[in-house]
Amino acid sequence: MKKEKLSTNLYNEFISGLNLIGIKIIYSEAEVKEGFSPPAKILIKEKKSYKKLEDNKFIVKHEYKLSGNRKGEEEGFIINVIYNITYRYKTPITKKIFSVFSEISLPLHTWPYFRQFVHEMTARMGLPPLTLDLLKLE
């Protein structure tokens, strides 16, 4: 079955009528194993979902899980954080719009916060402060 593409005009209309209301952390955890020290291979996983609210609003739940491990070993440290981002819209969000939005626009809103969180938490965990790339690149 062929996947239907989202029209550029529809997406641009959605983005031009979108207002970010707020971003907040709703969950975080960080753990470093006893005796772990860098260097480490870094792996980042994400989960994204949205829920429509009243008054032309929707909320996005964006989870980042970062782990670091040395070759052949289990995770030496993890940082997990979940953000709730609330938006107001003029053009209603759909699954198709969210699919594009979550890959293109959402990281521009959450990545800087996650990047700062990782830098601060690794320092507080007694590790060298980890500075992630300025932009999330695939």
The 10s digit of each residue's pLDDT in 59-94 is 999 999 999 998 878 899 999 999 999 999 999 999
Count CB atoms within 10 A of the CB of residue 99: 13
Say yes or no to pLDDT of 6 above 90.
no
pLDDT reported for residue 2: 53
**What domains can be seen in the chain, in order of their start residue?**
23-124 (3.10.420.10)
Q: Pick from 38, 60, 68: which is nearest to 110 by CA? A: 60
